[in-house]
Structure 1
Amino acid sequence: MSDHGFRHVGDRPVHQGYVWHVVVAEFEAPDGSTFERDIVRSPGAVGVVPIIFDPEGQPSVVLVRQYRPPYERAIIEIPAGMRDVEGEPAEETGRRELIEEAGLRATEMVHLIDMYPSPGMTDSVCAIYMATGCEPVAHDRHGPEEESMELLHVPLDDALAMIDRGEIADAKSVCGLLTAHRRLTAQG
């Protein structure tokens, strides 16, 4: 038996995609009854909060505004990507995605939090890092959404206000920005 007496019995594949796999998973409840749930199996993702300090030591963040087909509009997010390279450590995925999307190389990456983006439907975990010591490099964007994305350099306090106004609603970005701010405030 696993957590709270529930037991995973097995998965029946429904769809095998390039990154995601959809299954119907069967579980046994503590009372012995069984039930099924549709689950998206995912290798997970990594998000990065790139922090750049001005000469006075005030932090700003680099965000991306990227068209997201499921919402049919551009979304403001932290740079991020899927853990689609088998065996690649999460930090390395974050470093790669930071270069690909934002054209930044970080000298330091600090793990902030692991976030469950949608626990009712997927087993995905998004590891979120804070990147500092960021230096510009050539980006390596993939696909039409990334090729059309816009970079935003925003003071961290303004990014937090954007969360309050609903302009940043992406879960990984909200978690990353709030956690990075807490970390920086605790250090200051």
Structure 2
Amino acid sequence: MAEVPASAGRSPLRDLSLPRRVKKSKTVFEGRVWDIARESFRMDPDDKGQEPLTRELMVHPGAVAVLALRTHLTTAGPVEQVALVRQYRHPVGMELWEVPAGLRDVAGEPLVETARRELREEADLEAAEWHTLADFFTTPGGSTEAIRVFLARQVSAVPEGARHEREGEEASMPLAWVNTDEVLDAVLDGRIHNPSTVVAVLALHAHRAQAWRRLRPPDAPFVPDRRGPGADRPA
């Protein structure tokens, strides 16, 4: 296979938005949160003799996640801590430690507003300072799901009378403030597994190592999203 230069020394390394035109698309399963579609497309749209490829994929609305960071004063001095919730995840049969997160289920809602809402609803927290920490696709080989991870600072508790009433898997979801070094050790040791949390913790330490110079604003351009709320679906 011939090697292709990623940037040719002129532009930064980046993923390329080059969606193939979908020739045929059918929803084969409709779920409460996501659907399964079967789509056919050609890798080379100009090669009419090429047999179309057919793939099944999860059509997902996308989500946001929030790494809430605070400085906690101890007798040994100030310590940075991350807010984690523990939530039961039925597909894997485990209670996972996770940063607060939620679906992009309100059409047209800015990502940072979704993040503010989810932080309030899942952790009874609000924050005055917001930045974009990282963006990623959870399973690009089989799902459209894209997640933006935010960094939230200057965190405070939501007044008790204004707190969201949680239900379902969120009804008994404890909150813990954990030292950032302890969370990093848990990630590197393979003791916590939620992907948003792993990405968020590693990104946090990378940004700190670069003195926070690379933090993006909360409304930074998001990854291409051709199936999210308000997105154009291929013909």
| Shared fold (TM-score, shorter chain, > 0.5) | yes
Cα distance change, pair 10–141 in 1 and its aligned pair in 2 (3 A)? farther
In 2, distance between residues paired with 1:22 and 1:176?
Answer: 28
Deviation at 1:72, TM superposition (A): 1.2
In 2, distance between residues paired with 1:155 and 1:25?
Answer: 45
User: How well do the aligned residues superpose, as a CA RMSD in angstroms?
Assistant: 1.8
* Larger relative strand fraction: 1
Deviation at 1:57, TM superposition (A): 4.4
Residue-pair matches, total: 186
In 2, distance between residues paired with 1:3 and 1:62?
Answer: 37
Corresponding residue for residue 22 of structure 1: 36
Equivalent of 2:26, from 9, 12, 22? Answer: 12
Unaligned regions of 5+ residues in structure 2, if any? 1-16, 213-235
Corresponding residue for residue 206 of structure 2: 182
What TM-score do you get using the length of structure 2 for normalisation?
0.74
Corresponding residue for residue 3 of structure 1: 18
Cα deviation 1:13-50 (Å, max 9, x = unaligned): 11233331211011112252201111111110000000
Answer with 1 or 2: which has the greater Rg: 2
In 2, distance between residues paired with 1:142 and 1:25?
Answer: 37
In 1, distance between residues paired with 2:53 and 2:107?
Answer: 31
Corresponding residue for residue 55 of structure 2: 37
Cα deviation 1:63-103 (Å, max 9, x = unaligned): 01110111112011110000011111111111111011111
Where do 4+ consecutive residues of structure 1 move more than 4 Å? none
Deviation at 1:8, TM superposition (A): 2.5
Alignment partner of 1:115 is 2:140? no
Secondary structure of residue in 2 paired with 1:91:
helix
Alignment partner of 1:129 is 2:150? yes
Deviation at 1:187, TM superposition (A): 2.4
In 1, distance between residues paired with 2:122 and 2:35?
Answer: 25
Secondary structure of residue in 1 paired with 2:68:
strand
Identity %: 34
Unaligned regions of 5+ residues in structure 1, if any? none
* Larger relative helix fraction: 1
